[in-house]
Every structure is written in C-alpha cells, then in structure tokens.
Chains A and B, each alone.
Chain A
Amino acid sequence: MTALVVANLSAREVSRRRAALLLVVSLPFWFYLARRDLSGQSTRALTLGIGWAVSTLTLFVVNASRGVDPRLRLTGASVLGIIGGRLLAMTGIGVLLALGYWGLVAVDQDLFHLWAAGPMMLITALVAAPLGSLIGAILPRELDGALALLCISSVQMLADPAGLLAKVMPFWSAREVGNYVVDGGSIDFVWRGLAHGGVTWLICVAGTLAIFHWRLRLVRYPEPELP
C-alpha cells in the first residue's frame, strides 16, 4: 500500500519537473542523432543514453526526498515501502522511455535483430533506476552523484569491450545484447547480457536497501513504565 502510494506520487512529482523531464527524454536522442548514419553505434549510444538519463533522474528524485524519508519512517512507513515505491516509479518511467526509443530504432534503423533491441533498452532502464538510487544513497550531494554517473557512463562507453573493466561496469548488459542486435551471431549474447543485467540489478537493489535501512533506522526506545 505505502509502496504504491509512494510510486504514484513520485511519478507525479517527476512529471511536474517539466524541464528536467524534457532533458532526460531528449538526452538519449542527442546521443542517437550524433551517429544516426551508423546503426550499431547510434543504437548503442542511444541505449547508454537511456541508462544515463534514467539513473540521473533517479538520483535527483532520491536526493529530493532526503528530508521527507525520516518523517515517513517515524509515521510508520517501512524502508521497503519508501525505497521500493520510489524504485517502482523510476523503473516505470525508464521502461516507458525504453519502449519509446525502441519504436524509434524500429522505424529509423535497419538492425540485424530488431526485436532484441527492446530487451537491450529495457534491461538498461531496469538497471539504471536502482543504480541511480544506489549512487544517491552513497553520495548524498547531487553534484557528486551526477559526476559519478557521468564517470560510469563514460567508462562504459570508452572501455575496451575485450577487457575486464568494461565487463564489470553496470551497463555491460547493453553492450552484450547489442552484439546480437547489431552484428547478429549467437543468441547466447542475449542470455549473457540479461544475466549480467539481472545480477547488476540485484546488487544495486540490495545495496540501496541496505544503505537506506541503515540511514533510516529508528532508535527503538522502551515505553514509559505505567505508574
């Protein structure tokens, strides 16, 4: 119940940040437009842009709620209800964004396996929401968190795909599934990518919940003794 209310109100709050929302929605598009002539590069850049946009938006939403969360806990809400509800909302926004851009590449690009571009973008959006939340939990200042997400996205884009560094970054799943989408090859790319995304999602969600459990813990006092 609390989680659904938090999710609903978080989504409403985000929808009212018109300028931020416009930038978030358009950011992956600029990534895409920069190399629209190359199907592979543009689709990969677009997907990474979705990850960056959704994680950054989640970071700002998490930071904006910092003052209200302890009061909600005192009023009776559980950490899972508060954080889970917020993640639900941001994941929903990410999924909508991913579906929209899947439609764009469907009409604008000639990909080897177009259907797999959907899971590629969706898994990126699913990972991005808890990643933004985790970074927001670790780095309370918005600028610090935004720079950290910029670093993660940049390293993911620039790291050698054959090396270990690229594979331990959170958006490696997009790169892996992207191999199947753009270059064809074995469907194992898709399964490996989804598995990487699933593990990353679990780590980010568990990390977020653990940090917020600690940060929003309430001291349990005994009740006063009756006379």
Chain B
Amino acid sequence: MADWVDSLESELVRLGLQPGRARHLADETEQQAAESDSPPGEVFGPAVLYARHLVAALRVSSAPARLHAGPVMLSLAGVSKRYRRQTVLADVNLTVRGGEVAAVVGANGCGKSTLLRICAGLTRPSGGSVRRTRRVGFVPQDGGTVGGLTAEEHFTLFGAAAGMVPGRARSTGVHLASRLAWRPGARQRAQQMSGGTRQKLNLVLGELHAPDLLLLDEPYQGFDQGTYVDFWQQVFAWRDAGRAVVVVTHLLHDLQNVDHVLDLGASA
C-alpha cells in the first residue's frame, strides 16, 4: 500500500502540485482506500493514472481559467478523400493541441466518420497531409467490441494489445468505468449490455492505454441524460489533463465549450 501511495504522491508532484498538497491528497486517498478495506490499487487503479485524473478533477473544479494549450497533437492540412469519382472530403484543415477539444459537425453522410478514420490512420487520405501524435485512442460509432466477452475480458484484451499485464488492465478499466458511473458486471457479456452501456465500454477501451489524442465518433449514442452529462465532464477532464480530444457530434448545444468547430457542411 505504501508503494502505491508514494507513487501517487510523486506523480502528483511531477504533474505540478505543491509537495504539501500532494502529500495531503495522497493521505486522503489512503484513508478512503482503508475505509473500503481494499488496497488502493484495487479501488483507484494504477497510481500514475489516478494522479492524472485527480489533477484533471482539481483543475476542473478549482480553475475557471483554462490551461494553456499544449503541443500540437493533430494537424490536418488540405486533407481530401475520394471514393472513385465521389469526393467525400475536400480541403479539410484542422489543428488540435493538447488541452483542446475539437468538434466535427455536419450533415449525415458528409464524411465525419471518414475524417475520424483518416485521423486514426485506418483510412488513407487521397490528398493533403496529416501529422499526429503516436498514442491515439479511437472510439467508433458502433461495433468495436466482441459480443461474447465480458467488460473485464475486453480490458484484458485491449490491455494486452497495449502491452499491459492483465491485472493492471482490468483494474485500470474498472477505474475508468467508475468515472462514467458504471460498474461492469462480472458475467455480463457485451452482447447482453444495453446500447448505452456498450458505448461506455467502448469509451473505456479507447482510453485504457492513456492516449494523448482521443478520437470519438458520436460516442454518447444510447446514453441517458445523466451519463451524457458525465460524458462531457469526462471530455473536459481529459482536456484539462492535457489531452487532445476530437468529437464527432451532431448536437449543436455541445459546441459552446469546445475550442474548435469543424463544420463539414452538407452531405457529400
């Protein structure tokens, strides 16, 4: 337990908190874990990751002034995409820095999902240039899970892909799920989950390996109102932790708090 608390404290200091404040937060966390009779690693997940979430939460709650934008995480210049004779995207430009949220809007069929796949590297653009950071998380609009596996098995699978040991992947996944007010059932398979719960699983899988850039394709489909609010709070927590987030959305009232809006216009 002491190792975990020490790791948390040193990571908090590394992320910019005063040593006294970091010590205080680490002590509080240790007490909370003791109250639940579980090791802190089981309750809060890996110390390094929890420190990032703590700092993000502190900045959201205490600092109305936004962090300065960080380094460029994604840069699109003159990106286009054609399928045979049909132009899906033409001359798309976008730059997103760490600590920024960009929303991609437009009519159905205007190429929003295609653009996100290009950003991820799953689809090759026909023209233009793309630069992006290496660590990227991608959350598709639907699919992206295995129907016969439970949430924890998904965490193990995606954790293995990212080079994490199974125990750490599971504890990180459970912790991230709790931030979306979700406790994964031990036996519930993805195919037995509601649409909203499956999207929560999708979100956690996209974030499991702590990427610097998150690409989210309308990830809130099926969310109830409370989860929808939690989702946007989570997006802003990621932003305030220095990550870059690109969200495809068609809900215009989401746009007031984002840093960039890329309107792809009418259907291609």
Contact = CB atoms under 8 A, between A and B. Distances in A.
A78 to B, nearest CB: 9
Please tell me the size bucket of the interface on A.
20 to 34
B149 interface: yes
Contacts of A219: 118, 121-125, 130
A77 interface: yes
A71 B149 contact: no
B161 A13 contact: no
A126 interface: no
Interface of A: 1-2, 5-6, 9, 12-14, 16-17, 64-65, 67-68, 70-77, 81, 218-227
Contact of A71 (B124, B140, B148, B189): B140
B144 interface: yes
B195 interface: no
A77 B143 CA distance: 18
Contacts of B166: 5
Contacts of A71: 138, 140, 144, 158, 205-206
15 contacts: A5-B160, A9-B146, A12-B148, A12-B149, A13-B148, A16-B189, A64-B148, A70-B122, A75-B161, A76-B161, A76-B209, A77-B160, A220-B121, A224-B74, A224-B131
Contacts of A68: 143-146, 157
Contacts of A65: 146
B132 A223 contact: yes
A2 B121 contact: no
A74 B157 contact: no
Given A5-B160, A74-B121, 18 more contacts: A2-B161, A5-B156, A5-B166, A6-B160, A12-B149, A13-B148, A13-B149, A67-B145, A68-B146, A71-B206, A74-B136, A75-B208, A77-B160, A219-B124, A223-B133, A224-B131, A225-B131, A227-B72
Contacts of B153: 9, 12
Contacts of B206: 71
A9 B149 contact: yes
Contacts of B161: 2, 72-73, 75-77, 81
Contacts of A81: 161
B221 to A, nearest CB: 15
A225 to B, nearest CB: 7
A218 B146 CA distance: 21
A122 to B, nearest CB: 27
Nearest to B206: A71
A38 to B, nearest CB: 39
B158 A72 contact: yes
Contacts of B122: 70, 74, 218-219
Interface in B111-162: 118, 120-125, 130-134, 136-138, 140, 143-149, 153, 156-158, 160-162
B133 A224 contact: yes
A16 B153 CA distance: 13
B225 to A, nearest CB: 28
B29 interface: no
B227 interface: no
Given A2-B160, A67-B145, A70-B122, A224 B72 contact: yes
B121 A221 contact: yes
